[in-house]
C-alpha cells in the first residue's frame, strides 16, 4: 500500500470514528434532555457548527489531498510546504472570520433559526450557539492536520 493510500485510509477511519462518536453523543443528549425545549435548543444551536464541521474538512480534503499528491509525485517539497502554509493560513482566517461574525451575530442567527419560539427558548438557543461558534474556527484547523 502506498503512502497516499495509507493517508486516505487513515482519513476514512478517523472520519468513521468521528461519525460513531457523534452518534453516541446524540444518544447521550437524547437521554439527558429527552424531547424537551433544551434538547430542541441544543440541536438547533448545533445545526450550523455541525454543518460547517462537515463542509470544511470535505472541501479541504477534496482539494488539498489530490493537489498535494501531485506535488509529492513531482518531488517538489518546497512547493508542497508553501501550499500547505497558504492553505492553513486561509482556513484559519476563514474559520476565524465565520466564528467571530457568528458569535457577534448570535442573536440575529437565533432569530432566523427559531422565529416562533418564546424568549426563554430563544435565550437557551442563543447561549448554546454562542458557545458552539468557536468550533467553526477549530474545524478547519483540525482538517488541516496541525494545531492552530
Closest by CA position to 54, among listed 129, 114, 136, 121? 136
* Vertex 25: Cα angle to 143 and 125 (nearest 5): 90
Assess whether pLDDT exceeds 90 at residue 30. no
pTM: 0.63
How much is the pLDDT for 83?
A: 81
Closest by CA position to 39, among listed 137, 128, 134, 136? 128
For residue 3, give every residue at least 6 positions away whose Cβ sits within 8 Å of its Cβ, in sequence order, or none: 72
The pLDDT-based confidence of 104 (bands split at 50, 70, 90) is very high
3-state class (DSSP) for residue 104: helix
Do residues 136 and 52 touch, judged by C-beta distance below 8 A? yes
The pLDDT-based confidence of 2 (bands split at 50, 70, 90) is confident
User: Which one-letter DSSP state was computed for residue 34?
Assistant: T
Do residues 56 and 95 touch, judged by C-beta distance below 8 A? yes
Model pLDDT for residues 40-54, shown as the tens digit of each residue: 888 788 888 888 777
The rounded distance, in Å, linking the Cα atoms of 125 and 20 is 25
Model pLDDT for residues 84-100, shown as the tens digit of each residue: 888 888 888 888 898 89
Do residues 125 and 41 touch, judged by C-beta distance below 8 A? yes
Instruction: Quote the cell numbers at residue 40.
Output: 430542541
Element (H, E) at 64: helix 37-73
Amino acid at each position: 500500500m502506498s503512502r497516499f493510500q495509507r493517508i486516505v485510509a487513515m482519513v476514512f477511519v478517523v472520519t468513521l470514528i468521528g461519525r460513531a462518536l457523534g452518534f453516541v453523543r446524540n444518544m447521550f443528549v437524547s437521554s439527558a434532555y429527552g424531547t424537551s425545549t433544551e434538547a430542541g435548543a441544543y440541536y438547533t444551536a448545533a445545526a450550523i457548527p455541525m454543518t460547517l464541521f462537515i463542509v470544511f474538512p470535505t472541501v479541504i480534503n477534496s482539494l488539498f489531498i489530490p493537489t498535494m499528491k501531485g506535488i509529492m509525485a513531482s518531488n517538489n517539497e518546497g512547493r508542497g510546504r508553501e501550499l500547505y502554509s497558504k492553505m492553513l493560513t486561509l482556513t484559519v482566517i476563514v474559520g476565524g472570520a465565520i466564528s467571530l461574525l457568528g458569535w457577534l451575530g448570535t442573536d440575529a442567527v437565533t432569530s432566523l433559526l427559531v422565529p416562533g419560539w418564546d424568549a426563554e427558548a430563544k435565550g437557551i438557543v442563543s447561549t448554546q450557539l454562542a458557545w458552539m461558534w468557536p468550533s467553526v474556527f477549530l474545524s478547519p484547523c483540525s482538517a488541516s492536520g496541525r494545531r492552530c
